[in-house]
C-alpha cells in the first residue's frame, strides 16, 4: 500500500516546515558570548543537565516542524491505496477498461459479489474519493468508448452488465491508447479491471509489442493500473457443448465438464431440457475434466427444435448452462478419391463411410481427375487415397478444411514429392522378412483413435503392418510405430482437420481392416465434418453471427432465464433472429481455469510504468482518504511540543541562587 495526493501542488508548502529551524538559527545569532570568570563555577554546576536541556530543545524543534508538515499533508488530501500507487498526482481523466467476460462472474466465495460487481463498486468509490475526475469506459463486450457522466451511473449502465463473451485485452488496451493519443485529455490513467484469465490476455499474441510501445509513446505520461482479482482459481464446475448433430431421429450432444480445483471423484447432477421437456441424470467426474455424449431421442415430427443443458449453480452461474438448436434431417455425404476407383481398397473405404442400413449416409468414389464432381459445400469428409494434388484441387482441399471439413489421407501406391498442409509422403518401407511393423504408443484422449466415451481403449496395439509410407511434416503424431515413426498424424487447418494414416486397410499393407480402426477414424471424422453443416444453428456470444442483420427482430426461445434485450447478442441462449434460429453459447476459452500469474504479467508489460492491485475479500477499497490521520498527527505533535515546553516545578531554592546571593566584602 502507498499514499497518493489529490492536490499534489500543495506539497510545495512543505518548505514551510523549515520555519521553526530558521527561527531557531536566527535567535542564536542575536546573542554574543562574553567570557566572565565569575560564572565559571555556575557553568560547572549546570554542566550535567546541559545535555538533557539540549535534547529537550531538539525534540521541541522536531515537534514544531512535524506539526507543520502534517498539516500540509492533510491539506493535500492524501489517499491510501496500492492501486493508485505513489505520486499519482491530480488525475484529470480515468480510462476504465472493463473485462465483461463470462469468467468475471466468478464469486470468490458463496454469497460474495462477482469479480465484475466488486470492481465496479471499487472503481465507483475510488473515483468519487479522487474528486470525480472524468471517467471514460471501454468494455470488452461492445468495445465501444463511452464517457460516464457520473460515477453513480457506472453500476446502472448496460455496458457494465454481465455477459457470456470473451475479452481481448490487447485490443482493449490498443483502443485506450489510441483514444488518449487522439484526444490528449491531460493527466490520464488507464485502469484495467480483469480476472486475469489467460485466454482473455492472449500472452502469445504478437500485438503486445505494439501495446508496450504505445503506452510509452503517449504525449502525456500515462500510468497503467491493473486491478486483478488474483491468479488463484476459485472452486467451480463449468459445462461446455463441444458439438451437436442430428442423426436420424436422435440428437447427439458432445459435452464436457471442467472443474478448476480437485482431482478426486465428484458427482455432478445434469438437467436436460428438449422442447420444454426435462430429464436428469448424474455423472461422475474423476479428475478435472470429463467428456461424454448424450443421446436425446426425437420424434419424426421434430423438424426443428432447441433446448439447454444445465448443472447446479456454483461460484460462477454464467458457465452452468449450454444451449443447442437443430433442424431437419440432413444427409451425410463423403467422397473417396482413389487412384484405383474399382479396387478393393476404395471399396473398403466407401463401405466405412456409408455403412449398409444408414440411408442418410452416402459415399461416392472418384478418380483424382474427377474431383469436379465433388460438392464441397455439402461434403462432410474427403478420403484421399491418391498422390497429393497440387494447383486448384489442392486449394479446394485447403478451403474445405478451413471451413471445418475433415480430410483423411491414405498413402498412394507411388508417393510423390507434393506437399499439402505442410506434409508430404516419403518412401514406402517393407517390414523385414517374417516380421511386422508393430504399434508402439498412441494418444488415448485425442484424435480419431481416442478412447470411447466409456474410456474403453481402441485396439491400436493390435495393428500389424507389412508395408508403410513414411510421413514428413511439422504436424503432431497421434500414434507411432515401435521405432517412433508416425502411424497416425494430424495437421489442423482453420476449423478443420487433416489426418494421415501411413498404411492401408489392405492385407498387402496391414491388418487395419481386421481391427476396423480405419472405420473408427472415418466415422469420427464424419462426425466432425458433419458438425460444420449443423454449425448454422450455433453461434458464440458477441460474434457477428449472434447479432441482428438488416431488419431482423430478436426473440428468445428458451425459458432458462429472463431475457434482457440490451444484452441479446452478448448472452447465451436460443434466439430467433428473423428467419434464423441460433443457439448462442460462451466461448470455450471461458471455461479454462488457467490464470496469468504476476511473472507473466511482468513479461507482457515489461518497460511500462504499470502497477498491480490484487483485490481480496479483506481489502475491497482501491483508495481510502487518510487526511484525518494527518490532522491527528498535527494535534499529537502540538501536544508533545506543549508538554516539552512545561518548566519543572521547583522544590526549594536552587544551589545556583545561593551562590548569587552571597555577600562579598567591599574592596
| Mean pLDDT across 532-559 | 88
Query: Residue 324 pairs with which residues in a beta bridge?
Result: 307
The pLDDT of residue 530: 82
Position 348 pLDDT exceeds 50: yes
What's the pLDDT score for residue 262? 74
Query: Which whole number is the average pLDDT over 50-70?
Result: 75
Separation of alpha carbons 569 and 548, rounded Å:
8
What was the pLDDT predicted at 403?
86
Give the model's confidence band at 629: pLDDT under 50 very low, under 70 low, under 90 confident, else very high.
Answer: confident
- In whole angstroms, what separates CA 486 from the centre of its chain? 35
pLDDT band at 409 (very low <50, low <70, confident <90, very high): very high
- Segment 457-478, tens digit of pLDDT: 899 999 999 999 999 998 999 9
- Selected residue with higher pLDDT from 258 and 645: 258
d(CA 134, CA 147): 8
Chain-wide mean pLDDT for the chain? 84
In total, the chain counts a number of residues equal to: 667
Q: Is the pLDDT of residue 344 over 70?
A: yes
| Mean local confidence (pLDDT), 631-655 | 70
Query: Residues 297-336: pLDDT tens digits?
Result: 998 778 889 999 999 999 999 999 999 998 877 788 999 9
The answer to whether residue 659 scores a pLDDT higher than 80 is no
- Predicted confidence at residue 661, as pLDDT, reads 46
Alpha carbons 29 and 624: distance in angstroms, whole number: 46
- pLDDT given for residue 51 in this prediction: 64
User: Residue 193 — pLDDT band, cuts 50, 70, 90?
Assistant: very high
pLDDT 10s digits, 70-100: 777 776 666 555 454 444 456 889 999 999 9
Alpha-carbon span 423 to 427, nearest angstrom: 13
Rg (alpha carbons) of the chain, rounded to whole number = 38
Over 80: is that where the pLDDT of 28 sits?
no
What predicted TM-score, i.e. pTM, was given to this entire model? 0.67
Domains of the chain, start order: 1-30+48-81+626-648 (no CATH), 93-232+595-622 (3.40.50.410), 237-328+541-591 (2.60.40), 332-534 (3.40.50.880)
Q: Cα(600)–Cα(598) distance, rounded to whole angstroms?
A: 5
Q: What is the DSSP letter of 461?
A: G
Segment (H or E) for 12: none
- Segment 166-170 shows an average pLDDT of 96
CB 286 within 8 A of CB 268: no
- Where helices occur in 149-267 by DSSP H, the ranges are 169-183, 198-201, 208-216
Q: Tell the burial category of 602 from Cβ atoms under 10 Å away from its Cβ (0-12, 13-18, 19+).
A: exposed
Q: Which of 22, 3, 31, 99 has the alpha carbon at shortest distance from 64? A: 22
pLDDT at residue 417, as a whole number: 87
pLDDT of residue 77: 62
Instruction: State pLDDT tens for residues 355-387.
Output: 877 777 899 999 999 999 999 988 999 999 999
Amino acid at each position: 500500500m502507498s499514499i497518493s495526493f489529490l492536490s499534489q501542488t500543495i506539497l510545495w508548502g512543505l518548505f514551510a516546515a523549515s520555519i521553526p529551524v530558521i527561527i531557531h538559527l536566527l535567535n542564536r545569532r542575536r546573542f554574543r558570548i562574553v567570557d566572565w570568570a565569575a560564572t565559571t563555577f555556575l557553568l560547572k554546576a549546570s554542566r550535567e543537565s546541559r545535555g538533557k536541556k539540549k535534547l529537550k530543545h531538539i525534540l521541541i524543534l522536531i515537534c514544531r516542524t512535524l506539526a507543520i508538515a502534517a498539516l500540509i499533508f492533510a491539506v493535500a488530501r492524501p489517499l491510501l491505496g496500492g492501486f493508485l500507487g505513489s505520486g499519482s498526482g491530480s488525475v484529470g481523466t480515468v480510462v476504465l477498461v472493463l473485462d465483461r467476460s463470462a469468467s468475471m462472474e466468478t464469486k470468490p466465495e458463496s454469497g460474495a459479489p462477482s469479480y465484475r460487481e466488486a470492481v465496479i463498486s471499487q472503481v465507483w468509490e475510488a473515483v468519487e474519493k479522487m474528486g470525480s475526475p472524468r471517467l471514460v469506459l471501454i468494455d470488452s463486450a461492445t468495445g465501444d468508448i463511452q464517457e460516464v457522466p457520473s460515477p453513480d451511473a457506472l453500476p446502472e449502465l448496460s455496458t457494465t452488465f454481465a455477459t457470456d463473451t470473451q475479452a481481448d485485452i490487447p485490443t482493449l488496451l490498443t483502443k485506450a491508447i489510441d483514444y488518449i493519443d487522439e484526444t490528449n485529455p491531460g493527466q490520464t490513467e488507464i485502469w484495467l479491471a480483469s480476472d486475469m484469465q489467460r485466454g482473455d490476455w492472449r500472452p502469445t499474441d504478437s500485438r503486445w509489442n505494439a501495446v508496450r510501445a504505445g503506452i510509452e509513446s503517449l504525449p502525456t505520461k500515462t500510468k497503467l493500473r491493473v486491478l486483478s482479482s488474483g491468479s488463484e482459481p476459485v472452486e467451480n464446475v463449468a459445462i461446455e457443448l463441444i458439438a451437436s448433430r442430428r442423426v436420424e431421429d436422435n440428437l447427439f450432444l458432445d459435452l464436457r465438464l471442467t472443474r478448476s480445483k480437485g482431482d478426486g471423484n465428484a458427482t455432478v447432477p445434469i438437467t436436460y431440457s428438449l422442447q420444454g421437456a426435462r430429464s436428469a441424470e448424474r455423472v461422475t467426474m474423476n479428475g478435472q475434466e470429463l467428456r461424454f455424449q448424450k443421446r436425446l431421442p426425437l420424434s419424426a415430427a421434430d423438424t426443428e427444435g432447441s433446448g439447454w443443458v444445465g448443472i447446479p449453480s456454483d461460484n460462477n452461474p454464467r458457465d452452468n448452462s449450454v444451449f443447442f438448436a437443430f433442424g431437419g434431417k440432413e444427409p451425410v455425404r463423403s467422397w473417396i478419391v482413389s487412384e484405383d476407383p474399382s479396387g478393393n481398397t476404395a471399396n473398403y473405404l466407401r463401405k466405412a463411410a456409408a455403412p449398409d442400413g444408414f440411408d442418410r449416409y452416402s459415399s461416392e468414389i472418384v478418380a483424382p481427375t474427377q474431383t469436379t464432381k465433388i460438392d464441397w459445400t455439402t461434403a462432410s469428409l474427403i478420403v484421399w487415397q491418391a498422390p497429393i494434388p497440387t494447383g486448384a484441387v489442392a486449394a479446394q482441399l485447403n478451403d474445405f478444411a478451413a471451413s471445418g471439413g475433415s480430410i483423411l489421407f491414405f498413402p498412394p501406391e507411388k508417393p510423390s514429392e507434393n506437399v499439402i498442409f505442410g506434409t508430404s509422403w516419403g518412401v514406402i518401407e517393407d517390414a523385414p522378412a517374417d516380421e511386422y511393423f508393430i504399434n508402439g504408443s498412441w494418444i488415448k484422449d485425442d484424435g480419431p483413435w481416442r478412447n470411447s466415451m466409456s474410456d474403453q481403449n481402441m485396439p491400436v496395439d493390435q495393428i500389424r503392418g507389412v508395408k508403410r509410407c513414411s510421413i514428413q511434416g511439422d504436424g503432431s503424431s497421434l500414434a507411432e510405430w515401435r521405432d517412433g515413426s508416425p502411424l497416425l498424424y494430424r495437421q489442423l487447418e482453420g476449423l478443420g482437420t487433416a489426418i494421415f494414416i501411413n498404411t492401408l486397410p489392405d492385407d498387402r499393407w496391414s491388418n487395419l481392416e481386421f481391427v476396423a480402426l480405419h472405420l473408427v477414424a472415418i466415422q469420427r471424422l464424419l462426425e466432425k465434418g458433419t458438425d460444420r453443416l449443423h454449425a448454422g444453428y450455433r453461434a458464440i456470444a458477441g460474434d457477428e453471427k449472434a447479432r441482428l442483420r438488416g431488419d431482423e427482430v430478436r426473440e428468445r426461445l428458451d425459458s432458462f432465464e429472463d431475457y434482457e434485450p440490451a444484452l441479446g447478442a452478448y448472452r447465451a441462449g436460443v434466439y430467433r433472429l428473423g428467419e434464423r434460429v441460433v443457439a448462442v453459447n460462451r466461448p470455450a476459452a471461458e471455461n479454462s481455469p488457467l490464470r496469468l500469474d504476476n511473472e507473466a504479467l511482468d513479461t507482457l508489460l515489461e518497460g511500462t510504468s504499470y502497477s498491480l492491485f490484487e483485490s481480496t475479500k479483506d481489502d475491497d477499497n482501491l483508495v481510502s482518504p487518510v487526511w484525518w490521520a494527518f490532522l491527528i498527527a498535527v494535534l499529537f505533535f502540538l501536544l508533545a511540543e506543549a508538554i516539552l515546553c512545561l518548566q519543572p516545578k521547583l522544590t526549594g531554592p536552587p544551589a545556583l541562587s545561593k551562590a548569587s546571593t552571597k555577600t562579598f566584602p567591599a574592596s
